């Protein structure tokens, strides 16, 4: 596991050096350079009062503070991204420990996490993705501490993580709303196979308030839905189509009502996960994207297969993580029409999918999911078979 983390970090540092002094590296040509140049410009005459606190627009301002304090070097910006990825990797290890992954599962998950080509390239340059990944993993770790260890302190950490991910992208702000609601749903069923009426009465108003206030916050600071979801999706995807690019996978979008929206959502989701399809592959970068998609589909299948036969109480935290993965990917899919962009959007949810896919590796359950047939040596505390009973 340490080998995987160190290898991943060294590869990213190599990319950071190449991008800074010989590049730009692949994937660092447009947005990454734009963020760096904006941060360098802001750092010349740093004024905190001029910070743009718009959702998604604060990253170059944060970067400008480091440039002002140290130096406006592209390598520094890339190095900070490498550090963010390293912290996210350490958090993923902690998450796997909380869920008592066995050693083999930890190693497999970390190898994928560290060596995924798109991750190596895009978490080593001045993009927002490594920070998004860090805050998503921090949110998951906080959820598990709240659920498994009843730690109220981690409510503060969770809110910090939600704010952190939200300021880096509007889609993650919406994702944060779903996180809060689903965590409260999970707590209603803590240690119970059936609904707790007392907890239901307590949490239901909080869930409703979270949804109402969260949507108000989202529409105020990110994307407005004043004209209706169908109009928003239609205009957003029309803007994508107006930019001609080889990797675009949508050719036309006709959304005139909610019926079209319901048809568009599953199509957009599956294209987002699967493009480029084999007949669209025409370059080496397309081959990488295609192979990563195959890996991603296998991990989704692996998560679904194992979750079916896991005992109910033990399944819930991992099931929540898998549902959060599907929600985040679903949100991204609604506004993505290019598989190059999709490769970036897949990154923040990488840890979620790996946790869901490898959570029960090396274990055998009865077909009814009633008993654990073979124990194994875990790398975490408490033992897997008892991490719920230890609460």
Q: β-strands 372-374, 364-365: how paired?
A: antiparallel
Average pLDDT over residues 177-204: 78
The predicted-structure confidence for 207-256, as pLDDT tens digits, reads as follows 888 777 777 776 666 666 656 677 777 777 777 777 777 788 877 777 77
**Residue for token pair 């869930």:** 207
* Alpha helices (runs of H) in the chain, residue ranges in sequence order: 2-21, 31-44, 59-69, 74-98, 103-115, 117-122, 129-149, 153-168, 170-188, 197-221, 229-242, 258-274, 284-307, 312-334, 339-346, 350-358
3-state secondary structure of 46: coil
Strand partners, 102: 378
Please report the pLDDT score of residue 306 as a whole number: 84
| Least confident span in 350-354, 369-373, 386-390 | 386-390
Please report the pLDDT score of residue 192 as a whole number: 66
- Give pairs for 322-327: CB < 8 Å, separation 24+: 322/352, 322/353, 322/356, 323/182, 324/140, 324/175, 324/178, 324/179, 324/182, 324/349, 324/352, 325/349, 325/352, 325/353, 325/356, 327/175, 327/178
Does the structure show a pLDDT above 70 at 384? no
The predicted-structure confidence for 133-150, as pLDDT tens digits, reads as follows 999 999 999 999 999 999
Does the structure show a pLDDT above 80 at 191? no
- What H or E segment, with its residue span, contains residue 371? none
The predicted-structure confidence for 5-18, as pLDDT tens digits, reads as follows 999 999 999 999 99
The answer, as to whether pTM is greater than 0.85, is yes
Q: What mean pLDDT value characterizes the chain?
A: 84
Does the structure show a pLDDT above 50 at 295? yes
Please report the pLDDT score of residue 227 as a whole number: 65
Average pLDDT over residues 288-293: 94
Please report the pLDDT score of residue 171 as a whole number: 87
Average pLDDT over residues 155-174: 91
Does the structure show a pLDDT above 80 at 265? yes
Distance CA 221, CA 226 (A): 13
- Cβ atoms 324, 186 nearer than 8 A: no
Please report the pLDDT score of residue 222 as a whole number: 62
In our burial notation (b when 16+ CB lie closer than 10 A, e otherwise), range 250-288 reads: beebebeeeeebeebeeebbebbbbbbeeebbeeebbeb
- Angle of helix 284-307 relative to helix 258-274, nearest 10 degrees? 110
Classify the C-alpha dihedral 305-308-309-315 as positive or negative: positive
Distance CA 124, CA 273 (A): 23
3-state secondary structure of 383: coil
Does the structure show a pLDDT above 80 at 76? yes
Start-to-end CA distance of the chain, whole Å, equals: 28
Please report the pLDDT score of residue 235 as a whole number: 75
Average pLDDT over residues 366-389: 43
3-state secondary structure of 228: coil
3-state secondary structure of 146: helix
Please report the pLDDT score of residue 259 as a whole number: 82
The DSSP output letter for 364 is E
Task: State the SS3 of 82-115.
Answer: HHHHHHHHHHHHHHHHHCCCEHHHHHHHHHHHHH
Q: List phi, psi (to 5°) of 373.
A: -90, -35
Please report the pLDDT score of residue 321 as a whole number: 95
| Least confident span in 41-50, 174-183, 275-284, 317-326 | 41-50
C-alpha pair distances (Å), 267 with each of 28, 249, 299, 347: 29, 11, 20, 21
Q: Is residue 346 very low, low, confident or very high in pLDDT (cuts 50, 70, 90)?
A: very high
Please report the pLDDT score of residue 290 as a whole number: 95
**Angle (CA) 89 187 300, round 5°:** 45
């Amino acid at each position: 596991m340490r080998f995987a983390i160190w290898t991943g970090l060294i590869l990213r540092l190599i990319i950071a050096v190449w991008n800074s002094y010989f590049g730009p590296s692949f994937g660092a040509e447009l947005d990454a350079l734009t963020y760096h140049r904006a941060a360098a410009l802001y750092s010349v005459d740093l004024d905190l009062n001029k910070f743009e606190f718009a959702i998604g627009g604060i990253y170059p301002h944060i970067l400008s503070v480091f440039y002002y304090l140290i130096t406006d070097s592209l390598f520094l910006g890339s190095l900070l991204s490498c550090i963010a990825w390293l912290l996210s990797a350490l958090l993923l290890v902690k998450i796997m420990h909380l869920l008592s992954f066995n050693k083999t599962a930890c190693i497999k998950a970390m190898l994928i996490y560290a060596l995924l080509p798109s991750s190596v390239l895009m978490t080593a340059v001045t993009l927002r993705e490594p920070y998004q990944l860090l805050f998503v993993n921090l949110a998951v770790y906080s959820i598990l501490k709240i659920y498994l260890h009843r730690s109220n302190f981690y409510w503060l950490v969770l809110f910090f993580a939600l704010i952190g991910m939200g300021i880096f992208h509007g889609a993650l702000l919406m994702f944060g709303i779903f996180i809060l609601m689903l965590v409260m749903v999970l707590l209603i069923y803590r240690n119970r196979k059936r609904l707790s009426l007392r907890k239901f009465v307590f949490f239901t108003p909080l869930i409703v308030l979270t949804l109402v206030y969260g949507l108000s916050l989202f529409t105020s600071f990110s994307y407005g839905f004043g004209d209706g979801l169908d109009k928003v999706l239609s205009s957003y995807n029309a803007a994508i189509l107006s930019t001609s690019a080889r990797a675009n996978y949508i050719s036309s979008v006709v959304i005139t009502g909610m019926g079209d929206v319901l048809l568009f959502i599953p199509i957009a989701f599956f294209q987002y996960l699967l493009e480029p399809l084999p007949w669209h592959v025409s370059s080496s970068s397309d081959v990488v994207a295609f192979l990563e998609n195959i890996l991603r589909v296998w991990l989704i299948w692996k998560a679904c297969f194992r979750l079916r036969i896991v005992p109910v109480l033990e399944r819930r935290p991992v099931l929540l993580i898998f549902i959060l993965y599907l929600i985040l990917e679903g949100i991204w899919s609604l506004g993505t029409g290019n598989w190059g962009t999709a490769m970036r959007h897949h990154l923040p949810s990488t840890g979620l999918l790996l946790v869901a896919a490898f959570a029960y590796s090396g274990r055998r359950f009865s077909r009814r999911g009633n008993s654990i047939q073979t124990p194994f040596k875990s790398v975490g505390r408490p033992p897997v078979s008892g991490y719920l009973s230890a609460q």
